[in-house]
Structure 1
Amino acid sequence: MNSQTMLLADLLAVFKKSKLLIFLTVLIGGGTAYYLSQYVVEPTYEASTQVLIVPKQEVGSNIVDSTQISSSLSLINTYRVIMRSPAILNEVKTQVPNAPTDISEILLVESEEESQVINIVVSHSDPVVATDIANVITEVFANEIPDLMNIDNVRVLSVAEVPAFPVSPNMLIYTAIGVVLGFVVGSVLALVRYTFDKRVRDEKEAEQLLSLPVIGNIPVIEKRDMAAKRSKQEPVKEVNPSVKGDEKHVSSAKDTRQSS
């Protein structure tokens, strides 16, 4: 337990010493993700509609029994396949000129378990195109089913409306992912720098590495400090005019003795 506590304390100490590096990587990661989500990644819009599979009723009867409901439920998977078939999608491409070549790639057809409702979801970069495709698929499917299955049991529950906001990219999620990745990268860089940096910066690190007490240290003296100290210790040379005058007086006295 103590070793785990010491390891955690060492990691926190490393992160604390490299907090500026980690902060910069977090800032860069979050900023990059925000920029990508806002200006680079193409937004995607979703338009959805619903159809209901109505149980077939007996002629002259308004009662729907469990057998009829089970029969309708058994047709759900068949209807989902028909919606994605060329018989439906080719007609959709004819009615929606801006539709992509392969509509099945942007089409999602799903239904809840034991439900008679089929959800049709279309994803596209243009919200108007996505809405048109979803509504036309529903319309064409409802019109074609009586001829294909010899049964008229499809009703449109809701039509698609033009979405106001994209479903992706999510700016908050992108930015959060960028911040997390930035923190991870910064932490890894801090650990790598700590691992390969063998310098001892203070007495505390020396005690931790050597397990010995520090009894003294040698201060670091910079060259500029030594130069300033020498300049203070050097004496100032001054010219003494009286000495020069005495030398002249002595020389003139010697000349007087020689002449006498």
Structure 2
Amino acid sequence: MEETISLKELLQTLRKRLLLILSITFVAVLVSGIVSFYFLTPIYQSSTQFLVNQAKDDQPVYNPGEIQTNLQLINTYNVIIKSPAILDIVKNTLDLDMTTEQLNSKITVGSQTDSQVVAITVQDADSKMAADIANTTVNVFQREIKEIMNVDNVSILAKAEVNSSPVKPNPYLNIAIATVVGLMAGVGLAFLLEYFDNTVKNEQDIERNLDLPVLGVISIIDTGKVQREISNRAARKRAGGESVV
């Protein structure tokens, strides 16, 4: 016999397990809020930009061949910026208590397609340190690239500023995600418990599980109500006997 579940049964399952679903969601939101606000370290971000373009007075302002060369150099520059040749100097200049690999993991270098502008973005638990690393990195790169590649086509466009607002974690986003995950987990657990609950609760369960017709139903007897009714009848009989006498 093929089992089918109606929308009404689904809603009844959700209503029956509503307390469980809300409890799981509440716990997920509570844990997410506590971890986000009190345990996760705020991370700050600062960015600086430089332009790859060699200015020459004796050539036109717009030189397609030179621009194409600069665009091809950007990929090489991105690698050089994060190389030990640059980062070791940055680390020593700022007297950083970290390895070159750790410093490398804090720095992101990127540029948009066909753009001569390159951005150096630094993330750190200290907002001022993030700005210092970004500015020092671009300054060291601008100075060292002249000796490494014998070119002078790097111009700093914008210095990194101290950003007092952390970029992560985002507690409210984490709480929103925890709410959705908690609801999904609660609903999933509710249906799982309902699926493994093989107890017989009503006549519909007998017909569905045993494929047998229901001939009759025995109602639940409220013994307390029956006892009160017997007491009331006895009291009325006694009252009637006294009035006759």
Q: Considering the TM-score relative to the shorter chain, is it more than 0.5?
A: yes
Could you tell me which residue of structure 1 aligns to residue 63 of structure 2? 65
State the shift of 1:63 in Å: 3.4
For residues 21 and 195 of structure 1, what CA distance do their matches in structure 2 show? 15
After the TM superposition, which residues 84-95 of structure 1 pair with which residues of structure 2 at under 5 Å, given as runs? 84-95=82-93
State the shift of 1:39 in Å: 1.1
Unaligned runs of 5+ in 1: 236-260
Matched residue SS, 1:75? helix
Q: Deviations over 1:46-96 (max 9, x none)?
A: 111101011353x53343311111111111011111111112111111122
Unaligned runs of 5+ in 2: 236-245
Contact 2:45–2:122 at 8 Å: present in 1 too?
yes
For residues 69 and 197 of structure 1, what CA distance do their matches in structure 2 show? 71
Could you tell me which residue of structure 1 aligns to residue 131 of structure 2? 131
For residues 49 and 211 of structure 1, what CA distance do their matches in structure 2 show? 74
- Between the aligned residues of both structures, percent identity stands at 36
Could you tell me which residue of structure 2 aligns to residue 194 of structure 1? 194
Contact 1:110–1:118 at 8 Å: present in 2 too?
yes
Contact 2:54–2:154 at 8 Å: present in 1 too?
no
State the shift of 1:162 in Å: 1.1
State the shift of 1:105 in Å: 1.0
Q: Deviations over 1:132-176 (max 9, x none)?
A: 100100111111122222221111111111112111111222112
Amino acid at match of 1:94: N
Could you tell me which residue of structure 2 aligns to residue 51 of structure 1? 50
Could you tell me which residue of structure 1 aligns to residue 120 of structure 2? 120
For residues 106 and 89 of structure 2, what CA distance do their matches in structure 1 show? 16
Could you tell me which residue of structure 2 aligns to residue 178 of structure 1? 178
For residues 108 and 4 of structure 1, what CA distance do their matches in structure 2 show? 56
Matched residue SS, 1:115? coil
Contact 1:110–1:119 at 8 Å: present in 2 too?
yes
After the TM superposition, which residues 1-260 of structure 1 pair with which residues of structure 2 at under 5 Å, given as runs? 6-57=5-56, 60-98=58-96, 100-101=98-99, 102-202=102-202, 216-221=216-221, 224=224
Q: TM-score, normalised by structure 1?
A: 0.77
For residues 4 and 66 of structure 2, what CA distance do their matches in structure 1 show? 67
Amino acid at match of 1:28: V
Contact 1:107–1:122 at 8 Å: present in 2 too?
yes
Contact 1:45–1:165 at 8 Å: present in 2 too?
yes
Contact 2:44–2:125 at 8 Å: present in 1 too?
yes
Amino acid at match of 1:95: T
Distance 1:181 1:4, change over 3 A: farther
Q: TM-score, normalised by structure 2?
A: 0.81
State the shift of 1:6 in Å: 4.6
State the shift of 1:199 in Å: 3.3
For residues 197 and 96 of structure 2, what CA distance do their matches in structure 1 show? 60
Amino acid at match of 1:64: Y
Contact 1:98–1:129 at 8 Å: present in 2 too?
no
Q: Deviations over 1:212-238 (max 9, x none)?
A: 887753232355556656766789xxx
Distance 1:5 1:65, change over 3 A: farther
Distance 1:95 1:155, change over 3 A: same
For residues 66 and 134 of structure 2, what CA distance do their matches in structure 1 show? 28
How many residues in Structure 1 have an aligned counterpart in Structure 2? Answer: 232
